[in-house]
Amino acid sequence: MAKAKKKPADTRDRKPPVNGSFGEVIKSSVMPDKSTIKNPRRMNHYIINFQVTIDGKEIKNGTTGITSHTTDYKPDIVKRSIEAQFRKKTPHANSISVVIADTKLVSGEDYIRAAKDFLDIK
């Protein structure tokens, strides 16, 4: 015996989804882990110095920044973002490696002052 198909719910009165479908909460991307929150009312600003090696010979140094509610700013995501931007800038490159040299937790004022030198991460 085949199961009867459910009729789709009336969604006219609901708000549009933020992440995923209606009623679904993606915990990892929406809500930070409470153990990593330093101060829930304060944003943590990080200045990240990095070094990029293109094809094993051309070395470039740079600075970027990230703002997060948590003390874990996800360095792997930052590295992938930097690598993706350098791949766009140098499409002829065979290999690009990114090393995060230094990460500093700074105040909002220091972050704004340093922002003029940042690599734009999107």
- The more confident residue out of 69 and 61 is 61
Cα 116 to Cα 27: distance, rounded to the nearest angstrom: 33
Q: Nearest 5 degrees, angle CA 72-CA 77-CA 79?
A: 110
pLDDT of residue 17: 47
Q: Indicate whether 55 pLDDT > 70.
A: yes
pLDDT digit string (tens) for 69-116? 777 778 888 899 899 989 998 889 899 999 999 888 888 888 888 887
Q: Kindly report whether the global pTM for this prediction surpasses the value 0.75.
A: no
Token duo for residue 60: 């470039």
- The more confident residue out of 117 and 82 is 82
pLDDT of residue 98: 92
Task: With cut-offs at 50, 70 and 90, classify the pLDDT of residue 119.
Answer: low
Q: Indicate whether 122 pLDDT > 60.
A: no
pLDDT digit string (tens) for 13-45? 555 444 444 444 434 444 445 555 455 567 888
Task: With cut-offs at 50, 70 and 90, classify the pLDDT of residue 51.
Answer: very high
Hey, how many other C-beta atoms are within 10 angstroms of the C-beta on 106? 15
